[in-house]
Amino acid sequence: MNYADRDDWDRAIENYDKAIGLDPKGAITYGNRGYAYYKQGDWERAIADYDKAIGLDPKNSIAYYNRGHAYYNKGDLDRAIADYDKTKTRPLLLFRIEA
């Protein structure tokens, strides 16, 4: 059962924990667990998991993008923009207007 599809983030995290125990080098699994933490509003844990995902797969643009969202929600706009820049994508709210 895919608990993430049902917005059951606690159970999704439990499953991701098990998957990470079986394959601690699975960047996608860390990214998915990071997203579950993100959906719970736990920015610190989300960022930690995105950091791990990026460490395992530095070309993982989804992890950079999602970590940017977590930084944005923490109010750390500079780090959010830096992550969005790595993906060549920025949400419209973060475009800076140069005078």
Residue 63 · residue 31 · CB < 8 Å? yes
- 73: domain CATH number is 1.25.40.10
Tell me, yes or no, whether 99 lies in a domain.
no
- For the chain, give percent helix, strand, coil, nearest 5: 75, 0, 25
- What is the number of domains present in the chain? 1
R_g of the chain, CA atoms, integer Å: 14
Residue 82 lies in a domain: yes
Q: What is the pLDDT of residue 1?
A: 56
For residue range 50-88, list pLDDT tens digits in order.
999 999 999 999 999 999 999 999 999 999 989 988 987
Tokens for 89, please give them: 């994508």
Note the pLDDT of residue 98: 44
Average pLDDT, the chain: 88
The whole-angstrom separation of Cα 39 and Cα 61 is 19
AA identity, residue 71:
Y
Is residue 44 pLDDT above 70, yes or no?
yes
